[in-house]
């Protein structure tokens, strides 16, 4: 299952197969070296609703290069096997239901997955997916956003498993992060009801922001768009990508150690 004793932590997001299969594997090697306990792997989808322009572009490029669901499972299996750390898959309901809930969850588990995130799956419609996840020892991760009403926050947080994903922006990934009283209240409400770690994502870009998130009471941060921008700038060489990932994530991981849990 998703590690529960490694917090505070940085959880990186990567697009499966991007910028190439080897580039993806090099990115995983880099994040493993700096001590990330697991990683999110985005299975590319043609019509994402939660992803901002950076992640959308990486998904489109991966699909254009031939990535498909079968390859996603194979690459994720190779990445988790080589790095020794598990993955949490993030993708959309169409892919999960098209393959079949049990088949998808079984393949994800066999690939070294420990959790599943489905942004377009509503809380009210999540029970069949959660049941399939539970049958295969996977966590179905839930979301809370600044726009979530207080009563619903308590309901979603109380049912959360693996970790609770707090969306820190009013929009898509890569935007300006929420801060101050609004973010503090979201974290406070989540921590009061959740029996699992609470992580903040969408818009996380630097160590100072990570420290603010942890000081507000969260258990860690998820970083995606900013990391993928560094990967793109590193070019196509695997060693350069691995180094870029290490250099970007290292200070964020250090910020976790510098901030009391």
CA distance 56 to 36: 24
175: pLDDT strictly greater than 50: no
What are the structural domain ranges in the chain? 9-253
Q: Is 40 a catalytic residue?
A: yes
174: pLDDT strictly greater than 70: no
Question: Hey, what long-range contacts does 135-140 have (CB within 8 A, 24 or more apart)?
Answer: 135/102, 135/105, 136/102, 136/105, 136/106, 136/108, 136/109, 137/1, 137/109, 138/1, 138/105, 138/108, 138/109, 138/113, 138/114, 139/1, 139/2, 139/88, 139/114, 139/115, 139/163, 140/115, 140/116
Q: What is the pLDDT of residues 95-146, one digit of tens each?
A: 999 999 999 999 999 999 999 999 999 999 999 999 999 999 999 999 988 8
Is the separation of the CB atoms in 160 and 196 below 8 Å? yes
According to the model, what pLDDT value does residue 70 have? 98
CATH of domain 9-253: 3.20.20.70
Q: Please tell me which residue in 5, 51, 61, 120 is annotated as part of the active site.
A: 51
- pLDDT, average across residues 62-80: 98
Q: Please tell me which residue in 40, 114, 212, 242 is annotated as part of the active site.
A: 40
Q: What is the pLDDT of residues 209-220, one digit of tens each?
A: 999 999 999 999
pTM: 0.93
As given in the structure block, the two tokens for residue 40 are 């999110």
Tell me if residue 141 falls in helix, strand or coil: strand
Rg of the chain, C-alpha, whole Å:
17
């Amino acid at each position: 299952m998703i590690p529960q004793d490694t917090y505070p932590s940085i959880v990186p997001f990567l697009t499966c197969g991007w910028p190439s299969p080897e580039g993806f594997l090099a990115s995983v090697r880099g994040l493993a070296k700096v001590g990330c306990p697991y990683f999110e792997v985005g299975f590319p989808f043609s019509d994402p609703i939660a992803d901002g322009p950076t992640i959308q572009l990486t998904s489109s490029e991966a699909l254009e290069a031939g990535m498909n669901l079968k390859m996603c499972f194979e690459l994720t299996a190779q990445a988790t096997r080589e790095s020794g750390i598990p993955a949490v898959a993030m993708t959309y309901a169409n892919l999960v239901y098209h393959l079949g809930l049990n088949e998808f969850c079984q393949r994800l588990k066999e690939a070294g997955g420990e959790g599943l995130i489905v942004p377009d799956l509503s809380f009210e419609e999540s029970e069949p997916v959660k049941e399939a996840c539970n049958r295969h020892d996977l966590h179905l991760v839930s979301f809370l956003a600044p726009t979530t009403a207080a009563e619903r926050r308590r309901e979603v947080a109380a049912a959360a498993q693996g970790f609770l994903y707090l969306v820190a922006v009013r929009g898509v990934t890569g935007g300006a992060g929420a801060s101050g009283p609004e973010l503090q209240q979201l974290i406070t409400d989540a921590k009061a009801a959740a029996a699992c770690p609470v992580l903040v994502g969408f818009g996380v870009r630097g160590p100072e922001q990570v420290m603010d998130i942890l000081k507000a009471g969260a258990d860690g941060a998820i970083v995606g768009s900013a990391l993928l921008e560094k990967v793109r700038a590193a070019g196509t060489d695997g060693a350069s990508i691995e180094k870029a990932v290490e250099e970007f994530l290292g200070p964020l991981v250090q910020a976790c150690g510098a901030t009391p849990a």
